[in-house]
Structure 1
Amino acid sequence: MKSKKQHNIVTYIILIAGILLMLVPLAVTIISSFKTTREITGNFFGLPEEWTLANFERLFNDGITQYFLNSAFLTVVSVALIILVIPMAAYSIARYMERRKIFAIMYTLLILGMFVPFQVIMLPMAKLMSDFGMTNLLGLTILYLTYAIPQTLFLYVGYIKTIVPTEMDEAAAIDGAGKFTMYRKIIFPLMKPMHATVLIINALWVWNDFLMPLLVLNKDSSTWTMPLFQYNYQGMYFSDYGPSFASYVVGIIPILIVYLIFQKNIISGMTSGSVK
Structure 2
Amino acid sequence: MSKQKMSAGKKKNNAGNSVSVVRQAKHGGILTILFAILSFFWVSPILVVLLNSFKRKAYIFKNPFGLSNVPLSSGFEKWAHGLSKTFVGGLNYANALKKTNFVRCFGYSFFITLISVVLIVVCCSMCAWYITRVQTAGTKLIYLLCMFSMIVPFQMVMFTLSKLANILHLATPMGICIVYLGFGAGLAVFMFTGFVKSIPLEIEEAAMIDGCTPPQTFFRVIIPIMKPTLITIAILDAMWIWNDYLLPSLVLNVNKYKTIPIAVQYLKQSHGQIDWGAMMAVLVLAIVPIVIFYIAAQKYIIEGVMAGAVKG
Query: What TM-score comes out, normalization by structure 2 length?
Result: 0.82
**Residue 257 of structure 1 pairs with residue 292 of structure 2:** yes
The structure with the larger Rg is 2
Which deviations, in whole Å up to 9, do the C-alpha atoms of 1:10-63 show, x marking residues without a partner?
533431221111222111111111111022122211225345101111122221
Q: Distance in 2 between matches of 1:51 and 1:80?
A: 40
Q: Which is worse superposed, 234-243 or 137-146?
A: 234-243
**Number of residue pairs aligned between Structure 1 and Structure 2:** 272
Q: Which amino acid aligns with 1:106?
A: I
Measured after TM superposition, the shift of residue 121 of structure 1 is 0.8
Q: Distance in 1 between matches of 2:220 and 2:274?
A: 56
Q: Which is worse superposed, 134-143 or 230-239?
A: 230-239
Instruction: Tell me if structure 1 keeps the 8 A contact 2:267–2:274.
Output: no
3-state DSSP of counterpart to 2:65: coil
Q: Which amino acid aligns with 1:230?
A: V
Measured after TM superposition, the shift of residue 149 of structure 1 is 0.8
Q: Distance in 2 between matches of 1:190 and 1:3?
A: 40
Q: Distance in 1 between matches of 2:291 and 2:274?
A: 28
- Specify the alignment match of 1:213 in structure 2: 248
Q: Distance in 2 between matches of 1:161 and 1:51?
A: 56
Q: Distance in 1 between matches of 2:127 and 2:50?
A: 42
- Specify the alignment match of 1:147 in structure 2: 183
Instruction: Tell me if structure 2 keeps the 8 A contact 1:93–1:107.
Output: yes
- Specify the alignment match of 2:12 in structure 1: none
Measured after TM superposition, the shift of residue 233 of structure 1 is 0.8
Q: Which is worse superposed, 87-96 or 196-205?
A: 87-96
**Residue 91 of structure 1 pairs with residue 129 of structure 2:** yes
- For structure 2, the 5+ residue unaligned runs are 1-19, 68-82
**Residue 61 of structure 1 pairs with residue 98 of structure 2:** yes
Q: Distance in 2 between matches of 1:253 and 1:4?
A: 38
3-state DSSP of counterpart to 2:256: helix
* 2:283 equivalent among 235, 248, 257: 248
Residues 38 and 110 of structure 1, relative CA distance in 2, 3 Å threshold: same
Q: Distance in 1 between matches of 2:201 and 2:122?
A: 21
- Specify the alignment match of 2:173 in structure 1: 137
Q: Distance in 1 between matches of 2:126 and 2:110?
A: 25
Which deviations, in whole Å up to 9, do the C-alpha atoms of 1:70-89 show, x marking residues without a partner?
10110011111111211111
Measured after TM superposition, the shift of residue 239 of structure 1 is 3.3
Q: Which is worse superposed, 66-75 or 40-49?
A: 40-49
- Specify the alignment match of 2:40 in structure 1: 20
Q: Which amino acid aligns with 2:204?
A: D
Instruction: Tell me if structure 2 keeps the 8 A contact 1:66–1:222.
Output: no
Q: Distance in 2 between matches of 1:128 and 1:70?
A: 22
RMSD: 1.8
- For structure 1, the 5+ residue unaligned runs are none
Q: Which amino acid aligns with 1:104?
A: K
Q: Distance in 2 between matches of 1:85 and 1:51?
A: 48
- Specify the alignment match of 2:60 in structure 1: 40
Measured after TM superposition, the shift of residue 236 of structure 1 is 2.8
* 2:207 equivalent among 153, 156, 172: 172
Q: Which amino acid aligns with 2:90?
A: L
Give percent identity, aligned residues only: 31
Runs of 4+ aligned structure 1 residues displaced above 3 Å come to 1-10
Which deviations, in whole Å up to 9, do the C-alpha atoms of 1:239-263 show, x marking residues without a partner?
3210010000000001011101111
